[in-house]
Amino acid sequence: MPAYSTNMRLKFPILALTLEIITIILFAVFVVYDDGKHGGHGAHNNATHHEETTEQNPLTLYPMFQDVHVMIFIGFGFLMTFLKRYGFSSVGLNLLLAAFALQWGLLVQGLWHLDEGKIKVSIFKMINADFSTATVLISFGAVLGKTSPVQLLIMTLLEITIFGINEHLVAEVLKANDVGASMIIHAFGAYFGLAVARMLYRPALGNGHENDGSVYHSDLFAMIGTVFLWMFWPSFNSAIAEPGADQLMAVTNTYFSLAACVLSAYAVSSLVEHKGKLDMVHIQNATLAGGVAVGTCADMNIGPFGAMIIGFVAGIVSTLGFKFLTPILASNLCIQDTCGVHNLHGMPGILGGIAGIVAVALGKKDGTVPFSFSLLRPSSFRSAVMQAAALASSLGFALVGGAMTGLIMKLPFWGQPPDQNCFDDSIYWEVPEEEEGEESLAHGDHSMNKAEA
Amino acid sequence: MPAYSTNMRLKFPILALTLEIITIILFAVFVVYDDGKHGGHGAHNNATHHEETTEQNPLTLYPMFQDVHVMIFIGFGFLMTFLKRYGFSSVGLNLLLAAFALQWGLLVQGLWHLDEGKIKVSIFKMINADFSTATVLISFGAVLGKTSPVQLLIMTLLEITIFGINEHLVAEVLKANDVGASMIIHAFGAYFGLAVARMLYRPALGNGHENDGSVYHSDLFAMIGTVFLWMFWPSFNSAIAEPGADQLMAVTNTYFSLAACVLSAYAVSSLVEHKGKLDMVHIQNATLAGGVAVGTCADMNIGPFGAMIIGFVAGIVSTLGFKFLTPILASNLCIQDTCGVHNLHGMPGILGGIAGIVAVALGKKDGTVPFSFSLLRPSSFRSAVMQAAALASSLGFALVGGAMTGLIMKLPFWGQPPDQNCFDDSIYWEVPEEEEGEESLAHGDHSMNKAEA
Amino acid sequence: MPAYSTNMRLKFPILALTLEIITIILFAVFVVYDDGKHGGHGAHNNATHHEETTEQNPLTLYPMFQDVHVMIFIGFGFLMTFLKRYGFSSVGLNLLLAAFALQWGLLVQGLWHLDEGKIKVSIFKMINADFSTATVLISFGAVLGKTSPVQLLIMTLLEITIFGINEHLVAEVLKANDVGASMIIHAFGAYFGLAVARMLYRPALGNGHENDGSVYHSDLFAMIGTVFLWMFWPSFNSAIAEPGADQLMAVTNTYFSLAACVLSAYAVSSLVEHKGKLDMVHIQNATLAGGVAVGTCADMNIGPFGAMIIGFVAGIVSTLGFKFLTPILASNLCIQDTCGVHNLHGMPGILGGIAGIVAVALGKKDGTVPFSFSLLRPSSFRSAVMQAAALASSLGFALVGGAMTGLIMKLPFWGQPPDQNCFDDSIYWEVPEEEEGEESLAHGDHSMNKAEA
């Protein structure tokens, strides 16, 4: 790849300020405070009822919102700090992208469901805005280290928009269940990111890159992200569930799925290393696959042991994916998946979608509308078909949308890093000198900056 | 500065134990559990009503209290760990000062509002105690690295006391609105700290200090603080708001102000660096200015886009302050502001106060007392004057109180560090050897300890 | 100690997968979702009433559950990362053990209280499962760095089971009060771990080990654990208290006990160092002793100042223990207590038990059953005897159970590390190369791996 200018001095500020100003104008036109009177809908098919029941205290969902918030900003942000020289970008660009995505997501989701011509911001809508953000951060993981902030803002804008279309289709048209969003967030975000990564393929990175790896302390920073994601995943999967028994069920299923997933991920990690050692990449990621995979049927009556089986299988699949599938994707399919999102979000997301199809076919999802009469309830078979259609829709929008987005991101004037400067903060950030060995770092800084035009 | 004794073996334990014992005695005399029957007031003008409405479940505010708690202890503590050799002091002294401040703050605030001669501890009062703590931690940021634990405990004692007077004046006498405390916490804490820093001016640090900077991992630790502050700021600004719609409004305004602030802070950070790179100092701090600036009018009907404009402007002002104003303060006004609290809390706090004056003048704050009759409601003009008086009072108490406190802290027997040992944990902490390069560190240790008497 | 094989490739996966599969089968047989109809009991004597009152919203306790969850996974996990080369194991094995312990704990606790032959999972039961986990993590601290993952899973299995017996005895038979679990978690976990450590005594470590210490950044990681534990301890001590005034009292007492404890721990830390410096080991641990010591009487009417006195004393006792008692335990009693759990959980736990005996004898615990008649209430004397019996039972089960467990863990085929590889992640983990000084690390890696068979 030729050494394009990576100087962002004009491109990035102009883009960021323009996007924010447009967003503020759209907010001025469309967004008002929630007044507690709802004619509209949330992002999911049970939203209307849900908002009605929490009308009396508009902050009932606030603690769960904050748990999700922590997952988005600390969880995703620190999970990606595992790279030795890319921590500033991981947590810093995570903050930038998420801050824009949550504004844009609120608009995109809200425009589908205007209420008296307005988007009325409730905690419920803020949770959904955070959810839309998650798709972007998952895709960010696939292209981590190989994209400029300008490219990433463009990806955010497009991905959120496409996400909004698919989500509307899945929730409102197909009326599929996906309370924990295995399909519409995890599978969508992963395959969108993989499609982008395919478009941005860099042959020169085929033999690895000296900065594409961790150091001891960067792995510990990443564990901050892992553990916060792990702990608060029950909130993610239950935040928009029907209050009461369904929400408790979603918490319970996710809690046990994650616990079982830890045991299988650790076991398989040790099993596939020739010396029986544990691998931090597996521990940081595969332990979370249980939360992804149980998402779609989190609020279904699958039993705690059913949730555990899902988590147990997800931990195995995810760990094996990191060990065996990621190298194949890179070498055979030209998909360089920096964080292995295919293993954490992609396959477990599909697994979750399939589990949802099976669970719905078995009648594990009792009517989402209270007081529904059994005669009026759609048959389990029809529901299962809708679930399958939702999964297919999510994958289709992700792959096509991601490929189109990747093509736009490939245009040669977005300040993308040259191959030798990938996975390196110093191309977009002021990086301080090192504590020890300053000579060696002076040298390092020199080589790092050589591609700046 | 002469090399005073920095050995704290007697001074510090005697002061800390004495303060704690006095505090316990005062608690024995004045502090009782909340019994749910309130004749008293909280720290703010809407407190009485507020407490009544939450009387039935005394723990309704507990999740918001814990969010604020995380901001105080993790947020402020880790935000200041950016210095390469001052992380122990940053997070450790933050814990020490906050632990004392919350006890002292509860007493000082409670003594203004005795209820049957007692201070009845509720979650609401614990939140206000945490709030008073924030002023001290903001001031701590201004003098970070240049003060001894003994000096800092003295500052805590005095600052909290002066804060209590100003807060009483603002909330009870002027009856000004400051739900998110732009004026009484952020502006007050910043200008108090700057006044102290002016008194403790060290000319020898004018050319910088080798330890007054970050290393790669210390900047990542600081981001833990930044992100937790950013996420939980909606709780800070809404914790003591009127329950219901007002509280939701405070959450919503803060959430969007912060999001808009991130975009403008990143954009300007890139714009002012000659290579268009992002600067961690700006990212760690200026992204939070939106939370400060929207504080006063967080519970006013300014519209989500109004909040975003405030945050957008705050991000710009704060970043420009770090780039251009901090050096001028140091060189021209002899104010060495280690953390740049003027840019994060000072200017955004004043901005918040001004926004509050404007919003109140425009009638955006509907009566804080429910069922008030419009005829009885004070005119918007009169309210705006009260807001301006509150801002002036906060700045006045801060500057005068900070200067007096600084003079006391300057007395030469509080174990302050010599210039060459500033920004260095090893003068007050046992610091472990380094992982690598032990010879170079042995040397470092030697030079670090040379000033110990 | 001879160099046993430390290769875990078969042992560990087989054990982990077997345990998880057995657990899933037991869950399939016994565990169902909570249906809100309770005939059973929680783990504590006030559970029945408690669950009834929260029946209407099954997620009332959810925010407190998440606080406890953060303490278990972030708090304990990062607190133990202080060792320079053992961070992966600290936070990683913490996650593994806790994920298994919470499943096993739910089963063990639930089997004592079957409801229609089933264990009905509520948030209340999930909190108790997290509590049982805490005992294992405390014991883990005593043997940190000297045990294999296989040994630790065995310890988890046995300790949880023994914990379940003692807890049943204390709560249901003796009907003792221990809302914050000073006795049944902290003292139990500490003395269990110390008994195990005694069995696993390694004379070769008597002169210290080069990796048995911290580096600068590892101490900062540990502070993440400390501060989260400190902040959320009020949730730990109040989570299963009677809702309403009792729960508020438990929050209040813990909050002030911890605040007072910080001051005394800092003061004594400075006092016992010959240069008056603060010691990170004390700050990381002794500041938390106030939370442990106030546990048993957290929901008793001891007054805020009473709680502060308990915390104040606990901070002193704990710091002095680290300074003077830990070396004596190691040299005279052959108990090598890596994290000093005796000082943080052992002695403060006993202090808490004694404070509970005194408080109950003084009648500070009003009847746990509302509307109880004074004539029917057991006399304070009898209650105090039951408290003392509960403390004795907890210590007895811990010491005997820990010794038996230690004997089993000593069997020579669990892959325990040789002495020279203690406190070193690289024996059980893939450890990345270092950032700087790669030659020296290549050497380090070589020596680290020399004991692998």
Whether A274 and C430 lie within 8 Å, measured CB to CB: no
B431 pLDDT exceeds 80?
Answer: yes
A46 pLDDT exceeds 50?
Answer: no
Q: Residue A21: CB partners within 8 Å, gap ≥ 6?
A: none
Of C59, C102, C224, the CB nearest to A248: C59
Residue C4 pLDDT: 59
Amino acid at the residue C306: G
Would you mind telling me the total number of residues written for chain A in this entry? 453
Least confident residue range of B283-292, B431-440, C116-125? B431-440
Whether B266 and A57 lie within 8 Å, measured CB to CB: no
Q: Which residue of B has its CA nearest to A452?
A: B275
Instruction: Give contacts of C275 with chain B, Cβ < 8 Å.
Output: 7, 9, 452
Q: What is the pLDDT of residues B160-201, one digit of tens each?
A: 999 999 999 999 999 999 999 999 999 999 999 999 999 999
Instruction: Give contacts of C247 with chain B, Cβ < 8 Å.
Output: 58-59
- CA-based nearest distance B379→chain A, Å: 25
Instruction: Give contacts of B31 with chain C, Cβ < 8 Å.
Output: 303-305
pTM for the model stands at 0.93
C386: tokens are 């039951």
Residue A273 pLDDT: 87
Q: What is the pLDDT of residues B344-353, one digit of tens each?
A: 999 999 999 9
Whether A433 and B215 lie within 8 Å, measured CB to CB: yes
Mutate to test the interface with B, among A96, A133, A223 (most CBs of B within 10 A): A96
Amino acid at the residue C353: G
How many Cβ atoms sit within 10 Å of the Cβ of residue A35? 14
Contact of C236 with C65, CB cutoff 8 Å: no
Share of residues in chain A with pLDDT > 70 (%): 88
Mean pLDDT of chain B: 88
List C-alpha distances in Å: C171 to B30, C41, C43, C233.
35, 11, 7, 21
Instruction: Give contacts of B452 with chain C, Cβ < 8 Å.
Output: 275
In degrees, rounded to 5, the angle at the alpha carbon of residue C27 between the alpha carbons of residues C21 and C33 is: 145
Mutate to test the interface with A, among B59, B210, B218, B277 (most CBs of A within 10 A): B277
Contact of A244 with C80, CB cutoff 8 Å: no
CA distance A269 to C451: 21
CA distance B174 to B164: 14
What is the SS3 assignment for chain C? Answer: CCCCCCCCCCHHHHHHHHHHHHHHHHHHHHEEECCCCCCCCCCCCCHHHHHHHCCCCCCCCHHHHHHHHHHHHHHHHHHHHHCCCCHHHHHHHHHHHHHHHHHHHHHHHHHCCCECCEEEECHHHHHHHHHHHHHHHHHHHHHCCCCCHHHHHHHHHHHHHHHHHHHHHHHHHCCCCCCCCHHHHHHHHHHHHHHHHHHCCCHHHHHCCCCCCCCHHHHHHHHHHHHHHHHHHHHHHHCCCCCCHHHHHHHHHHHHHHHHHHHHHHHHHHHHCCCCCECHHHHHHHHHHHHHHCCCCCCCCCCHHHHHHHHHHHHHHHHHHHHHHHHHHHHHCCCCCCCCHHHHHHHHHHHHHHHHHHHHHCCCCCCCCCCCCCCCCCCHHHHHHHHHHHHHHHHHHHHHHHHHHHHHHCCCCCCCCCHHHCCCHHHCECCCCCCCCHHHHHHHHHHHHCCCC
Of B7, B69, B432, the CB nearest to C231: B69
Band (pLDDT 50/70/90 cuts) for residue B380 is confident
B63/A contact by beta carbon, under 8 A: yes
Partner chains of C (3+ C-beta pairs under 8 Å): A, B
Instruction: Give contacts of C73 with chain A, Cβ < 8 Å.
Output: 227, 230-231
E strand or H helix at A121: strand A119-121
Whether A245 and C100 lie within 8 Å, measured CB to CB: no
Residue A370 pLDDT: 39
Residue A374 pLDDT: 45
Average pLDDT over residues A399-417: 94
Average pLDDT over residues A29-38: 86
Residue B446 pLDDT: 35
E strand or H helix at A31: strand A31-33
Band (pLDDT 50/70/90 cuts) for residue B378 is low
Of A217, A271, A278, the CB nearest to C92: A278
Q: Which residue of B has its CA nearest to C65?
A: B63
Instruction: Give contacts of C211 with chain B, Cβ < 8 Å.
Output: none
Chains A, B: CB contacts under 8 A, how many? 185
A69/B contact by beta carbon, under 8 A: yes
The string of DSSP letters for B283-309 reads HHHGGGHHHHHTSTTTTS---HHHHHH
Instruction: Give contacts of B301 with chain A, Cβ < 8 Å.
Output: 33
Q: What is the pLDDT of residues B67-76, one digit of tens each?
A: 999 999 999 9
- CA-based nearest distance B25→chain C, Å: 7
Share of residues in chain B with pLDDT > 90 (%): 78
Whether B95 and C303 lie within 8 Å, measured CB to CB: no
Q: Which residue of A has its CA nearest to B223?
A: A91
A361 pLDDT exceeds 60?
Answer: yes
Residue A207 pLDDT: 84
C305/B contact by beta carbon, under 8 A: yes
Partner chains of A (3+ C-beta pairs under 8 Å): B, C
Whether A274 and C9 lie within 8 Å, measured CB to CB: yes
Residue B4 pLDDT: 60
Instruction: Give contacts of C314 with chain B, Cβ < 8 Å.
Output: none
Residue A113 pLDDT: 85
Dmax over CA atoms of chain C, in Å, equals: 78
CA distance C228 to B91: 12
Whether C13 and A271 lie within 8 Å, measured CB to CB: yes
B376: tokens are 């009885």
Burial of C231 (0-12, 13-18, 19+ CB in 10 A): buried
Mean pLDDT of chain A: 88
CA distance B234 to B251: 5
B249/A contact by beta carbon, under 8 A: yes
Q: Considering only residues 176 to 235 of chain A, which have any Cβ-Cβ distance to chain C shorter than 8 Å?
A: 213-217, 219-220, 223-224, 226-228, 230-232, 235
CA distance A54 to A258: 28
Whether B270 and A13 lie within 8 Å, measured CB to CB: yes
Query: For chain A, how big is the Rg over CA atoms in Å?
Result: 22
ipTM higher than the 0.95 cut? no
Whether B17 and C264 lie within 8 Å, measured CB to CB: yes
- CA-based nearest distance C339→chain A, Å: 19
Mutate to test the interface with B, among A5, A8, A11 (most CBs of B within 10 A): A8
Three-state secondary structure call for residue B160: helix
Q: Phi, psi at residue B230, to the nearest 5°?
A: -60, -45
Chains B, C: CB contacts under 8 A, how many? 185
| Selection from A180, A168, A170, A175 nearest residue A246 by Cα | A180
How many Cβ atoms sit within 10 Å of the Cβ of residue B389? 16
Band (pLDDT 50/70/90 cuts) for residue A296 is very high
Residue C368 pLDDT: 44
Whether C59 and A247 lie within 8 Å, measured CB to CB: yes
The series of mean pLDDT values per 10 residues for chain C, 453 residues long, is 67 95 97 76 42 66 96 97 95 97 96 91 95 97 96 97 96 93 96 97 90 93 97 96 94 97 97 91 96 96 96 97 94 93 96 95 67 53 92 97 97 91 94 57 36 36
Chains A, C: CB contacts under 8 A, how many? 184
Q: Which residues are bridge partners to A121 per DSSP?
A: A33
A256/C contact by beta carbon, under 8 A: yes
CA distance C166 to C192: 12
CA distance A403 to C403: 61
Residue with tokens 């208290």: C241
